[in-house]
Structure formats: C-alpha cells, structure tokens
Amino acid sequence: MMRAGPSQEEIRKHNLGTLLRHVHLGGPTSRAELTSLMGLNRSTIMALTADLTAAGLVREELPKDTGRAGRPSLVVRPETARVYVLAFEVGVDRLAAARIGLGGVILDRREAVRARGPFDMAQVVGTLAGFARQMRRRTREDTICVGAAAAVSGVVRASDGVVRIGPNIGAFEVPLGEELTKRLALGLPVAVGNEANLGALAEHTRGIGAGCRDLIYLHGDVGIGGGIIVNGQLLGGYGGYGGEVGHMVVNPDGRPCACGSRGCLEAEVGEPALMEHAGRYGEMIGRDAVRAVVDAADRGDVMAQEALAHVGNWLGLGVATLVNVFNPEMVVFGGILREIYLGSAAQVRSRIATGTLRATREQVRLRTSALGDDATLMGAAELAFAQVLADPLEALSRVAPAPFGG
Amino acid sequence: MMRAGPSQEEIRKHNLGTLLRHVHLGGPTSRAELTSLMGLNRSTIMALTADLTAAGLVREELPKDTGRAGRPSLVVRPETARVYVLAFEVGVDRLAAARIGLGGVILDRREAVRARGPFDMAQVVGTLAGFARQMRRRTREDTICVGAAAAVSGVVRASDGVVRIGPNIGAFEVPLGEELTKRLALGLPVAVGNEANLGALAEHTRGIGAGCRDLIYLHGDVGIGGGIIVNGQLLGGYGGYGGEVGHMVVNPDGRPCACGSRGCLEAEVGEPALMEHAGRYGEMIGRDAVRAVVDAADRGDVMAQEALAHVGNWLGLGVATLVNVFNPEMVVFGGILREIYLGSAAQVRSRIATGTLRATREQVRLRTSALGDDATLMGAAELAFAQVLADPLEALSRVAPAPFGG
C-alpha cells in the first residue's frame, strides 16, 4: 500500500503466477481467453506460456474441436499428472491423505479411522507418512511434488505449524508441522492450517463459493470451526488465529465448552449437544450419528426433530451475529454442519430474519458445501500449491534443480 | 488478483498517490526518507514531487535545521492551508462540520446541538450547508476543496449515501448523500459513511491504531457501532454494511433493541441501559450523562458501580466474541464507550480472559480512542481525501480546471 509500484521483474512473476492460477482454477484455457482475462496482449501471453511450459507446469495443445473456422487458439492445460502436492487431514475421526494434481484433481487418496482421545504424535505422523510413501511409490518417474500441507482440527500457528490447541483431537502445543516435515523428508516444509480455514479456501476457490469475495464457511467436526473470506482473502488476524467462530458465546448461561468457557457456539451446536438433546448420547459417533438424527427427524421422530430445532436455534443465532458483523455474500455449512443445517434450516433462517439488520442480511445466501468431505483436503492442497502459484519458476527451482525438458 | 500486473501509467498514478499519502499521514518528509520509504531512486522521487508541486498539492522547502553537515535533503510538505476537504458529522446529539487541510489538520470547525427525535432532513442539511458556507467564506482565494464526506450514526449505502436505517437518529431510507451534494453545490459528490467505520479509519490512519493492520474500533453514541480493519483495510462486506457489531446478540433473553431484536450489544451496553441500571434514566443525556455515572462510581456510588459492572460484563462478552473471530491486534473504545470502558475495564478484561482462546487473545491490546470526539470527523475527512490520494492529478483536474501555477 505505502510502497512504490512493482518492478518489471515483480510484474513478470505476478503475471506467471496469475496465468498459472487461471489454468489451475479454471482448467484448460485458450490463449485467446487468457489474453482477455488478464488484459495482456497475445505476445506477452505467448511468452508467459512458453516459460511455464519449459518449466513443465503447463502444456499447450490444439483444442479438441472449436466448431469455428480459422486457426484455433491453442489451449493451455495444467500438467495435472506431473505436478502435484500432498494434502493431509487430521480430523477428529479420521486421518486422510491425498495426492492432488495441479488443477485440483485428486489423483490418489488414503484414509484411516482415528480413535477419539489424546493426541498421539507417533500414530498420526506415522499413519500420514505411510500414506505418503504408498502414494509416492505409485507415481511415474517424471512427476514432481511441489508442496505439502495438512488440515487440522485445532488452532494452528501458521509460521511453524504448531497446533496451539485442538480440544477435540486432544492436542495442546503440538509441533505437528515440524514432525511431518521431518518424517516426510520431501525436501520442503509441510504447512499446517486450521481445517475450517482450509475448507473455506477450498469452497472459495473451487466450491460453492467460487466467485464470492465475502464468504463465511462453518465446519462441523464434533466441534465447530470457521473460515472467513473477506474481500477475497482468508481472514487471518494479527497472529493468524482469526475465524474461531466456534467459541463465540451464543448462550451465556449455556453448556460448558471444552475451551473452558460456557455457551460457545460449538458447545450448543456440536455433535455432543445434538446427541444429548436427541437422547442418543454414546450410541454412535461422527457423521453417521448426526445423519441418523436427521434421518430420524425426517421420519417423524419427535425427539430428533426437537433436538435439531434446539441446536438450529443456537446455530441461527451465531450465524445472525456473523451476518451483522461481516455482511457476507454467502454462508456455507460444511462437515457435519451440512447435515445439521439441512435438518434445521427453518430455525436458522428464522433466527437470521429476526436477529439481523435488513441491510446486512438482504443479499446473503445460505448454502451447503459443494466439496463435502473433500473440502478440507482440497483446502490443504490449495495451501500446498500457494508457493508455486505465487512465484512458479522460483518455487520449482527449489524442488526440481533440473527442470523438465531443461 | 487475477488480472495482469499494472501498466506504466498505473504505476505512476500509484506512486504519486503513495507519495502524497506519506506526507498526508506522516507530515513533512525529506526526499531522502521518501526514497527509502517507497523503495524508489532519487530521480523518480524528484519527478513525482515535481508533479505534485506543480499541481499545488505539496511544497518543497529546506528543512529548519538538519544538524548534519553537507547539503540537506529537501523536505516535502502537504499544502495544508491550500488543499482541504469538508467533513461533516450527523451524530445523535450533535451536528458538526470541519474544514480539514491535507495532512489532517482541522483548520476550522462548527458544531450545533441536535435534538433527539425523528430525522429532519431540512434541519440537518440546512445546518451543515450553513456551516460549510461560513467556513468557505473565510478561506483564501487560492484554496481548493478536493472532497466532502459525512459520518452518520446509521447503516449507510456507500454507492449513493442513503442512510438505510439509523434507529438513534430516527432515519430510515434517507437520501442524505444526494441532499448534501445538492445543497452544498461544491461540484463534487458528498460521500457518506457510518460513523464507527469512519472512526475506525481515523484511529487506524492517524490515531491510537496507526500501524495496526488488524483493529476493532467500537464507537458509542447512545447506541454502539463498529468499524473493523482487517489486514489494513476497512471491512465492508458484500454490500458495504459490515461491522454492525452493535447488533450482535450477546444476551438472548435480554433487553429489546431498537432494531427489533433482543439482547443486542447496543441494547445491553448503550446509554439507555447504563442510565436505567444506574437509576438515572431521563435525568441527563449524552456523553455528560455517561460521564456523570462514571464519576459517581469513582466517588463510591454503589448503584453507579453496579451499573457499570453490569454493562461492562456484556461489553466484555461482545468483545470476547470479536477477539475470537478476528484475532485483532487492538480493540479501541471511542465515543461514550471510552468512558464506559474506563469505568468497567475489570469486567471487560475478565470476560475476555475467560471467554476467548489463549491464542486469539494473547496479543490483543485494549485502548481508548486517541482522537476522542474528533475521530468521526477525522474519518470523514479521510473518506473525503480518498480520491485525491488514489489518483492525485486526475482528482485535482476535476475540481480545479486551472491548476495552481499553471
């Protein structure tokens, strides 16, 4: 803001990254479209594409069929099969890993059940490193891993990947990023982020919120997390811990919360609250348990209906506060909140209607996650791709000293 | 983000604006400092300064005393006495206007008491236009008005300056921007903004929060408004209505609010709530009334102490939610909230300590407004200066067809 405009070299880097981001998010794109999207002339687009092609990040080819006369514009495709990242998830009930190609395509994935209880570093890192080994063993020789990142149910310090606190995975000041980096030994650091923040990133870049510049993503995974996109950017806050909407106090006289407070959104709306109100606490856990309550309510089970109405009331109160504070274009419900919202939409909508100013709510759309269970893994992949999208050639030179075709 | 890098002309515009912003916010600055601050070479700084000087926006002069040997670097000063904006405030209890020079110096000001009650457009616009006329009559011939803006206690649509709703000034869908533009007849539009948003802007640019990139400003003016700075930018949201923290529900079973909801932060913490709890409702109004309660509490008045503790508890709960959601570097209390916070800091701090995650609160600082009663007027001035700071020469050409010295 207060610095001078960019240098020529910075502009080239920005343009390379921008072109790569276009094909990463939009898929195969013709040179003509890129020219118009980026507001640059044809020869600049050709030069940028040539640089990215030489680096092995994109490939140019003739379009299948243009349906138009004349010489068709070449199509620029991401090198999805060659250039990939590793994405991990440490959820409350699962450990997951995926190999995701440039362009956001899941090429391979692994998943294991995580038992609830204290955080077991050896088990978590061992399982994920094992998945990574299996998946990398199955890749072709000429593939290249350009990044790795993990989504975690907890409050994460971005700079070093320490999980400051993750009440629902029993984690407290856990150096997950460091351990994953050590055990994976990819020659690049493993970034760590909060699962709801990364879910927000995924839904914003290639999910239901693509194109929205102001979006709130609420993620349920036993507890409740939030990821907030403000003017196209993920809200970080001063220390990077922003978006902890699960610990907004919605009911000052409410249920005790794992964080030590009382009446937090997570305490009133999370899985344990729903299960207790439905008289099913201890029967089942996880998404299946929540789904069972919603199904029972659909079939006319009065106790399940009342439980959903009860938690939906608090969910609506929390969303109303967020709508007044952020005036978002969209609120997205993901994880188990997808089911809870679908089972209590009437209460949520009613609370928003009565608890917000007309101006802040009149344009908001309420939606469920488009990426479903993959949202957090896809978000971790976006975090892992961040370096190569910011400065493609520099990032690549660090992971592949001898570039393809070079 | 997804566009190509800027053109040479855009870079020049950006650099001109950035240099002007430096002297506007930082005061007289030497060419040497500008070179280092902006990361440009000396000849570019000289050329930019020459353009701004020719336009009459800045002036170069020898520094008073450098205390160093050798030829001193020329100092670039904003043309504070020549280039000004008109800033207005439509508060609950006052109508105010100021003529504020480039550099943020109040050159002249006027103020009148506003009677509480329904919004009276003729009275509001008539009073403010009268103030503007008086102040402009006293300016020198060669001065130039480069912008005008008003801060209003209400929810404002930025595009046309309509006050969508201002419960505490009795306004509903009031076309204030249009009427002010018409009556002032300055040849430029009068921008309108929410008073708390503009207070946030002022405290962020030249108040207690200068240098903070993540700041929450809470403004009390009978009701409560908020202005939130996220990563250095004012949070607008999709329609520009973000920051309505006064209508977060902190007490679901609480007091009815003028917005139609119940238990909003403003209903629990605003002036009427404090006065009722203190047993003084109807005695006095406005800042003096609030001050009287705080003074009484200081002198040992138990009812006043309990009233402050009570509202401080709800204020703390609201701030705790904002800390969890935004992880701000600073929370600033302005308007009558300055007094209320000072009289209830123990409750506010205690609620934050118990109602937030350690990670989100550990670095937050709680402060009172540095600009005091001028915060909203100063913020309106920043809004009014926005055009000339974004594109100095273009903005000036619109208001002054024949530039100074041209």
Write phi, then psi, for B251 (nearest 5 degrees).
-135, 90
The pLDDT score that the predictor gives to residue A69 is 66
| Cβ contacts of A157 on chain B, cutoff 8 Å | 359
Report CB contact under 8 Å: B261, A10: no
CA A303 to each of CA A36, A268, A272, B41, B173: distance values in angstroms, whole numbers, following the listed order = 57, 17, 15, 73, 44
Which residues, given as ranges, of chain B have pLDDT below 70?
1-2, 65-70, 400-406
Residues of A in contact with B356 (CB under 8 A): 247, 261
Say yes or no: domain A210-370 is CATH 2.60.260.20.
no
The 3-state DSSP class for residue A58 equals strand
pLDDT above 90 coverage of chain A, percent: 85
For range A49-66, the mean pLDDT: 89
Predicted local distance difference test score (pLDDT) of residue A350: 97
What value does the mean pLDDT take over residues A377-393?
A: 96
Contacts of B398 (CB under 8 A, 6+ apart): B188
- For the complex shown, is ipTM > 0.95? no
B6 to chain A: nearest residue by CA? A11
Count the Cβ atoms, other than its own, within 10 Å of residue B384: 25
Q: Which ranges of B254-399 does DSSP label H, i.e. alpha helix?
A: 265-269, 271-277, 286-298, 302-326, 336-355, 358-361, 375-390, 392-399
**What is the CATH architecture assignment of B8-78?**
Orthogonal Bundle (1.10)
Q: Residue A1 — very low, low, confident or very high, per pLDDT cuts 50/70/90?
A: very low
Contact: A321, B228; criterion CB under 8 Å: no
Neighbour-count burial of A47, counting CB atoms closer than 10 A to its CB (0-12 exposed, 13-18 middle, 19+ buried) = middle
Q: Is A327 in contact with B241 (Cβ distance < 8 A)?
A: yes
Average confidence (pLDDT) over A169-180 = 96
- To the nearest whole Å, the CA of B64 is away from the closest chain A CA by 26
Residue ranges per structural domain of chain A: 8-78, 83-198+375-399, 210-370
Give A67's pLDDT tier (boundaries 50, 70, 90): low
Q: Which two tokens stand for residue A306?
A: 């009342």
Q: Number of CB pairs < 8 Å for A and B? A: 209
Rounded mean pLDDT of A153-174? 95
Is residue B334 classed as helix, strand or coil in its secondary structure?
strand
Alpha-carbon span A74 to B45, nearest angstrom: 43
Q: What is the pLDDT of residues B381-394, one digit of tens each?
A: 999 999 999 999 99
Please report the pLDDT score of residue A402 as a whole number. 47
CB contact under 8 A, B230 and A232: no
Residue A405: the pLDDT is: 40
Smallest Cα distance from A34 to chain B, Å: 10
Task: Give, rounded to a whole angstrom, the gap between the first and last alpha carbons of chain A.
Answer: 38
CATH entry, B209-370, from 3.40.630.10, 3.40.190.10, 3.30.420.40, 3.30.110.30 = 3.30.420.40
Task: Output the pLDDT for position B1.
Answer: 44
Residues of A in contact with B250 (CB under 8 A): 249, 252
pLDDT at res. B10: 87
**Which residues in chain A touch residue B248, judged by CB atoms under 8 angstroms apart?**
321, 324-325
Report residue A282 as tokens: 């201890």
Q: Which residue has the higher pLDDT, A398 or A196?
A: A196
Asked if the Cβ–Cβ distance from A360 to B328 is below 8 Å, we say no
Could you say which of A1, A3, A15 has the minimum Cβ distance to residue B232? A1
Of B261, B325, B326, the CB nearest to A355: B261
- Average pLDDT, integer, range A125-133: 97
pLDDT digits (tens, 9 = 90+) for A275-295: 999 999 888 888 899 999 999
Structure confidence at residue B72 (pLDDT): 75
pLDDT tens-digit profile of A242-261?
999 999 999 999 999 988 89
Say which range, A163-167, A193-197, B61-65, has the weakest mean pLDDT.
B61-65
Q: What is the pLDDT of residue A397?
A: 87
Beta strand B171-174 with B162-166 is antiparallel
Q: Which amino acid is at A233?
A: Q
pLDDT confidence of residue A399: 81
- Residue with structure tokens 């994976």? A184
User: Among all residues of chain A, which has the CA nearest to that of B243?
Assistant: A325
> Domain A83-198+375-399 has what CATH class?
alpha beta
What confidence tier does A64 reach under pLDDT thresholds 50, 70, 90?
confident
Q: Do domains B8-78 and B83-198+375-399 have the same CATH topology?
A: no
Q: Which of B22, B214, B355 sits opposite A2 (nearest CB)?
A: B22
Residue in B233, B238, B359 closest to A328 by CB: B238
